[in-house]
């Protein structure tokens, strides 16, 4: 018969060793499960982020919006976001050809197939200069005109001539003065609304007299006067709703 004390010495240590081994196995197993759980949660989180971004883009694409050109400024106003900024471009004021519209040319052009050098039968576009414009609070004469293409969260944008405020519940994007080519010049042009606090293109006061804009006056020939006044410069407003 084995003495009780010897039996205790033989059984108790083995019991402790077995218990510690099981604890270690359980601990390793717990760490593996925890690692797998963390990886699974991280994967699910990335999937949720992708779904949220997709929903955000879908919502943004479905929201109403409209765009306009802010002539005379490098930036947009209020809640409008900048699409791009650039330089006002137009055709030579004393030429009858080329386009009649003023364009906002981006400041980072990209070129396709091209051949440098002027062609007698190509259209021309050049920088637009301020002429006149003594109502802007600063002398901008002969400087080139900047522009910005803006995106507003409103569905419709319009330019209202002869007003520097919007009608009703329309939102004012900016106000200014109506400008165009001079009536004595051979070339036709659009009427554009130039911001009442215009910027300039730095170092551009060269007076090249290529494409130019002047303020527009009311002429009482077929135009009701009043409310219009002969020889008075017209304001303008760009409004959205």
Q: What is the pLDDT of residues 39-65, one digit of tens each?
A: 888 888 888 888 887 777 665 556 788
Instruction: For residue range 88-130, list pLDDT tens digits in order.
Output: 999 877 777 677 789 999 999 999 988 888 888 888 899 999 9
Query: Do 219 and 144 belong together in one domain?
Result: yes
Backbone angles phi, psi at 237, to 5 degrees: -145, 140
Query: Do 208 and 97 belong together in one domain?
Result: yes
Q: What pTM was computed for the model?
A: 0.70
* Residue 5 to residue 46: CA distance in whole angstroms: 62
User: Does residue 115 form part of some domain?
Assistant: no
* Residue 193 to residue 165: CA distance in whole angstroms: 13
Query: Do 101 and 75 belong together in one domain?
Result: yes
pLDDT confidence tier of residue 31, bands split at 50, 70 and 90: confident
Provide the pLDDT for residue 13: 47
* Residue 46 to residue 48: CA distance in whole angstroms: 5
Q: Which residues contact 129 (CB under 8 A, 6 or more apart)?
A: 142, 143, 144, 145, 204, 207, 208, 209, 210, 211, 212, 213
Provide, rounded to the nearest whole percent, the portion of the chain with pLDDT above 70. Answer: 83
Task: Print the domain residue range for 41.
Answer: 7-63
Provide the pLDDT for residue 170: 96
User: Does residue 191 form part of some domain?
Assistant: yes
* Residue 13 to residue 2: CA distance in whole angstroms: 17
Query: Do 135 and 233 belong together in one domain?
Result: yes
Provide the pLDDT for residue 60: 55
Provide the pLDDT for residue 185: 72
Query: Do 153 and 58 belong together in one domain?
Result: no
In the numeric block, the tokens 């949660």 are attached to 41
Provide, rounded to the nearest whole percent, the portion of the chain with pLDDT above 90. Answer: 46
Query: Do 13 and 76 belong together in one domain?
Result: no
Instruction: For residue range 128-166, list pLDDT tens digits in order.
Output: 999 876 777 778 888 899 999 999 999 999 999 999 999
Q: Is the per-residue pLDDT at 17 higher than 50?
A: no
Q: Is the per-residue pLDDT at 28 higher than 70?
A: no
Mean pLDDT of 171-188: 87
Query: Do 42 and 130 belong together in one domain?
Result: no
């Amino acid at each position: 018969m084995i003495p009780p004390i010897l039996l205790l010495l033989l059984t108790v240590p083995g019991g402790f060793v077995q218990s510690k081994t099981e604890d270690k196995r359980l601990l390793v197993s717990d760490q593996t499960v925890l690692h797998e759980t963390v990886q699974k949660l991280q994967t699910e989180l990335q999937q949720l982020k992708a779904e949220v971004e997709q929903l955000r883009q879908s919502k943004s694409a479905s929201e109403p919006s409209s765009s306009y050109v802010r002539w005379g400024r490098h930036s947009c106003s209020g809640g409008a976001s900048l699409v791009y900024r650039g330089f006002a471009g137009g055709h030579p004021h004393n030429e009858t050809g080329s386009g009649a519209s003023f364009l906002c040319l981006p400041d980072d052009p990209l070129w396709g197939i091209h051949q440098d050098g002027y062609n007698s039968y190509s259209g021309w576009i050049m920088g637009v200069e301020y002429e006149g414009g003594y109502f802007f609070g600063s002398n901008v004469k002969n400087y080139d005109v900047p522009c910005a293409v803006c995106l507003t969260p409103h569905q419709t944008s319009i330019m209202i001539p002869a007003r520097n405020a919007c009608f009703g519940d329309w939102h004012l994007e900016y106000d200014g003065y109506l400008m165009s080519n001079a009536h004595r010049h051979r070339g036709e042009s659009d009427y554009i609304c130039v911001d009442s606090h215009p910027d300039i293109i730095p170092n551009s006061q060269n007076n090249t007299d290529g494409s130019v804009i002047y303020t527009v006056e009311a002429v009482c020939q077929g135009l009701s006067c009043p409310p219009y006044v002969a020889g008075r410069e017209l304001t303008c407003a760009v409004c959205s709703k």
